[in-house]
Amino acid sequence: MSRVRIATRASDLALAQSRHVAAMLEEKLGVDTELLPMKTTGDRLQGPLARVGGKGLFVKEIEEALLDGHADLAIHSAKDLPAAIPDGLALVAFPERADPRDALLARERGSTLMELPGGARIGTGSLRRATQLRALRPDFQIVPLRGNVPTRLRKLEEDDLDAVVVACAGLERLGLADRIDERVATDAMLPAVSQGILALEGLQNDALARDVAVLTDADTAIQVAAERTVLQRLNADCNVPLAAFAEPRGERLWLRAMLADPNDGRTLHAEGEAPPSEAAELGTRIAEELIAGGGAALVERLRHEALA
């Protein structure tokens, strides 16, 4: 195949990510690439995603383009991927992970989370971030916020916010890393499942899918296996404040996970370690610990509340 058609969301960040991966494909495989920007349902909707279908709304049209033959590959922010991948498709490559941490962007430059004034107004569209922010500082006022990164930066001033919280990786890929006031430690805010990771999706058992595996970073693929197993075992979506973060520590893989009730702030935590070769098994074990603590019932209740 001399030209690879790559489906992607049309946002500035998605295009920047896709251009980066396209350049890698051209270098490694000697192919030409063509980006196919698409506006997904998730990009068009303005309300809370949990009430209208969750994370899958950011990938639905892109996956349909793969299945109907209009695209050869798709590039996603892995944290936008729902637990289930459609039949006939597969996640085929994971380039090296960027910074997985959350970033604080403060109106008063140089501020950290703990230095923000009492009652500070913090903008975020993530239940996971909102829950952890309230746990750190119960005085924070959480302001719902959606839109791309430039929009969120603009709303920092327009909506009279003291700060917004977004992903470090997105700011880095947009060349905006110097706008970060604090890279929040994972001990304070555990990242979303696969935050900072790009996922290439293609047709299952396709020759191209096998070829693009050359872009996979081994450590990143191991982290994805552990973190997404937690997501899949819990069958969670964006209506659930779920975090899972795997990182290598010496010759072991350490996995931490958090599941929270956004109504009362109650949180379930689990962590453990295993050899990297047992990443998926580690993810299953950590998910089972959350389930044993009431996680399955919580996920089910939150799903029903989101649809009510």
Q: List the CATH number of the domain containing 172.
A: 3.40.190.10
- Give the domain CATH number at 295: 3.30.160.40
% residues pLDDT > 90 (the chain): 79
Neighbours of 216 (CB within 10 A): 17
- Same domain? For 79 and 127 the reply is no
The verdict on residue 189 lying in a domain is no
* Whether residue 54 has pLDDT greater than 60: no
The verdict on residue 192 lying in a domain is no
- Same domain? For 203 and 177 the reply is no
| pLDDT the model gives residue 237 | 78
- Same domain? For 12 and 93 the reply is yes
- Same domain? For 124 and 173 the reply is yes
Domain that holds residue 116: 102-184
The verdict on residue 259 lying in a domain is yes
- Same domain? For 64 and 137 the reply is no
Q: Is 80 a catalytic residue?
A: yes
- Same domain? For 90 and 124 the reply is no
In this prediction, residue 303 has a pLDDT band, given cuts at 50, 70 and 90, of confident
- Same domain? For 204 and 258 the reply is no
The verdict on residue 287 lying in a domain is yes
Q: Residue 35 region, left (φ>0) first, then alpha (ψ -120 to 50), else beta?
A: beta
Phi, psi at 239, each rounded to 5°: -80, 0
Mean pLDDT, the chain, whole residue set: 92
- Residues 210-269 have pLDDT tens digits of 999 999 999 999 999 999 999 999 998 777 899 999 999 999 999 999 999 988 888 999
| pLDDT the model gives residue 147 | 84
Mean pLDDT, rounded, for 3-19? 95
| pLDDT the model gives residue 195 | 97
Total number of domains constituting the chain: 3
The verdict on residue 282 lying in a domain is yes
Three-state SS at 189? coil
- Same domain? For 86 and 224 the reply is no
The verdict on residue 190 lying in a domain is no
* Whether residue 51 has pLDDT greater than 60: no
The verdict on residue 191 lying in a domain is no
**HSE value, Cβ hemisphere, 13 Å, CA-based, for 257:** 33
The verdict on residue 289 lying in a domain is yes
Checking 54-59 for CB contacts under 8 A at 24+ apart, the result is 54/82, 54/237, 54/238, 54/239, 54/306, 55/80, 55/81, 55/82, 55/237, 55/238, 56/82, 56/237, 58/9
Per-residue burial over 228-256, b if 16 or more Cβ lie within 10 Å, else e, is bbbbbbbebbbbbbbbbbbbeeeeebbbb
Mean pLDDT, rounded, for 179-183? 97
- Same domain? For 120 and 83 the reply is no
- Three-point CA angle 208, 211, 215, nearest 5°: 120
- Higher-pLDDT residue of 303 and 127 is 127
- Same domain? For 23 and 88 the reply is yes
| pLDDT the model gives residue 42 | 58
| pLDDT the model gives residue 46 | 55
- Same domain? For 2 and 151 the reply is no
- Same domain? For 226 and 239 the reply is yes
Question: Catalytic: which of 72, 80, 162, 237?
Answer: 80
* Whether residue 104 has pLDDT greater than 90: yes
* Six-digit token string for 27: 């270098």
Checking 23-26 for CB contacts under 8 A at 24+ apart, the result is 24/95, 24/215, 25/212, 25/215
